[in-house]
Amino acid sequence: MTHDSQGPPVYGSAVTKVEPFGVDHIPDSERHGKPSSQFFVWFAAGLNFPVILLGFSAAYFGLSFATAAAAIVAGAGVGAGLMAVMSRMGVRLGVPQQIQARGPLGFFGNFLPVAYINVFSGVGWAAVTVILGGKAFAELSHLPYWLCALLLTVVELVVAIFGYNMINFLQRALTYVLTPLFVLITVVAVVRGGSLFEANPHADGYVGAAGGSITLGGWFLAFLVAWMPFASDYSRYLPDTAKVVRQTTWYTALGNFLTIAWLGILGVVVGASASSSDTITALHELMGPFAVPALVAVGLSALAQNFLNVYGGAISVQTLKVPVTRTQAVAGICVLAYGISLWGATGTEDKFKVFLNLTAYFIAPFAAVLLIDFYLGGRGDPRRIAELYDRSRIVDWGLVAWAGGVAASVPFWVSDIYTGAFAAAHPGAGDLSMLVAAGVAVVVYLFTYRLKPLWRRAGGEDLDTGTGTGTGTNTATDTDPAAEQLPERAPDLIGRG
Number of domains present in the structure of the chain: 1
- 105 within a domain of the structure (yes/no): yes
CA 375 to mean position of chain CA atoms? 21
> Does position 412 have pLDDT exceeding 50, yes or no?
yes
HSE of 417 in the Cβ direction (CA atoms, 13 Å)? 10
**Residue 300 and residue 174 in contact, taking contact as beta carbons nearer than 8 Å:** yes
**Residue 423 and residue 414 in contact, taking contact as beta carbons nearer than 8 Å:** yes
> Does position 312 have pLDDT exceeding 60, yes or no?
yes
- 118 within a domain of the structure (yes/no): yes
- 451 within a domain of the structure (yes/no): no
**Of the candidates 12, 13, 21, 53, which has an alpha carbon nearest to the alpha carbon of residue 469?**
21
pLDDT the model gives residue 371: 96
Q: Which residues of 226-247 are buried (b: 16+ CB within 10 A; e: fewer)?
A: bbbbbbbbbbbbbbbeeebbeb
Task: Name the residue range of residue 66's domain.
Answer: 36-361
Burial of 21 (0-12, 13-18, 19+ CB in 10 A): buried
> Does position 403 have pLDDT exceeding 80, yes or no?
yes
User: pLDDT tens digits for 218-275?
Assistant: 999 999 998 999 999 999 999 999 999 999 999 999 999 999 999 999 989 887 666 6
Q: Where are the alpha helices (DSSP H) in 142-196?
A: 145-162, 164-193
Res. 459 pLDDT band, cuts 50 70 90: low
Specify the pTM. Answer: 0.89
- Which amino acid, 419? T
- 289 within a domain of the structure (yes/no): yes
**Residue 166 and residue 159 in contact, taking contact as beta carbons nearer than 8 Å:** yes
> Does position 453 have pLDDT exceeding 70, yes or no?
yes
- 65 within a domain of the structure (yes/no): yes
pLDDT the model gives residue 360: 87
Backbone angles phi, psi at 138, to 5 degrees: -65, -40
Residue 166 is given by DSSP the state: H
Q: How far apart are CA 443 and CA 448, in angstroms?
A: 9
pLDDT the model gives residue 285: 78
The CATH number of residue 44's host domain is 1.10.4160.10
- 466 within a domain of the structure (yes/no): no
Q: Report which of residues 344 and 484 the model is more confident about.
A: 344
- 491 within a domain of the structure (yes/no): no
Q: How far apart are CA 180 and CA 165, in angstroms?
A: 24
> What 3-state class would DSSP assign to 396?
coil
Q: How far apart are CA 80 and CA 82, in angstroms?
A: 5
Average pLDDT of the chain is 87
In this prediction, residues 118-126 reach a mean pLDDT of 84
pLDDT the model gives residue 447: 97
- 428 within a domain of the structure (yes/no): no
Q: How far apart are CA 148 and CA 136, in angstroms?
A: 9
**Which residues, 6+ apart, have CB-to-CB distance to 233 below 8 Å?**
90, 96, 97, 98, 308, 311, 312, 315
User: pLDDT tens digits for 440-450?
Assistant: 999 999 999 99
In this prediction, residues 351-361 reach a mean pLDDT of 75
